Amino acid sequence: MIVSVTNRLLCSDSLEDRVRALAEGGIDCILLREKDLREEAYEDLALRCRDICDAFGTKLIVNSRVGVAKRLGINTVQVPFPMLLENEGICRDFPKAGVSVHSVFEARKAQALGAAFLIAGHIFETACKQGLPPRGLSFLNEVCSAVSIPVLAIGGIRPKNLSAVKTAGAAGVCVMSELMACSEPNARIQEYKAAFSANG
């Protein structure tokens, strides 16, 4: 599974045009991040992205804004681990909720609280986490081995390292910069999909 994590500041086009290009190109999921937006602006953007994704049969995941997801009828959210601890009902309200984790303890706890999938990272060096050392493939393997739900790897994921990520146990990957900034989203998606499929 290839998940595109949005960041409109990296796009040369509008985010809506980028989402449309990604959906048309066959991306599996789009995680609408845009953490800096206020709730109203985020909801307006999520509504437009939802309609685009629905037209192509692409899953849209709401990042943290569970109220927005409820109002727009979007059934999949992704939340940071501390937010899950503050509101354990998230996984009851959203049976397909994903949780970002940074340790084996968090992974096991998130699964116990009903998480449907995990996002673990960051695995490799990435501009999004400058100054923070990556947790590496051994961390990813430990998380994948500790739980029975799908784990998606995030952080510096590129076609050239997909083999190692998949060998570590990841069921998929989350990609931001490579898909937000590229000039040909369709071709880049196919490159990721081919690299992931080629390794089992």
Q: What is the pLDDT of residue 67?
A: 97
- The model's pLDDT over 64-94, given as tens digits with 9 standing for 90+, comes to 999 999 999 999 999 999 999 999 899 999 9
Q: What is the pLDDT of residue 40?
A: 97
* CATH code for residues 2-197: 3.20.20.70
Is 122 assigned a catalytic role?
A: yes
What integer is the mean pLDDT of 142-150?
98
Report residue 35: phi and psi, to 5°. Answer: -65, -25
Mean pLDDT, all residues of the chain: 95
Q: Rounded to whole angstroms, what are the CA distances from 126 to 130, 140, 155?
A: 7, 16, 6
Q: Which band of pLDDT confidence, cut at 50, 70 and 90, is reported for residue 126?
A: confident
What integer is the mean pLDDT of 22-39?
97
Q: What is the pLDDT of residue 129?
A: 61
Q: In angstroms, what is the C-alpha Rg of the chain?
A: 16
- The model's pLDDT over 168-192, given as tens digits with 9 standing for 90+, comes to 999 999 999 999 999 999 999 999 9
pTM of the predicted structure, to 2 decimals: 0.95
Structure tokens at 197: 């499929």
Q: What is the pLDDT of residue 200?
A: 55
Q: What is the pLDDT of residue 133?
A: 83
Does residue 158 have a pLDDT over 60? yes
Which helix or strand (DSSP H or E) is residue 151 part of?
A: strand 151-154
DSSP state of 5: E
Q: Where are the alpha helices (DSSP H) in the chain?
A: 15-24, 39-56, 66-72, 81-86, 90-93, 104-112, 136-146, 162-167, 177-180, 185-197
Q: Are 106 and 81 in contact (CB under 8 A)?
A: yes
Q: What is the pLDDT of residue 132?
A: 78
DSSP state of 25: T
What integer is the mean pLDDT of 55-64?
98
Q: In whole angstroms, what is the distance from residue 145 CA to residue 137 CA?
A: 12
Q: Which of 8, 20, 122, 193 is catalytic?
A: 122
Q: In whole angstroms, what is the distance from residue 48 CA to residue 16 CA?
A: 7
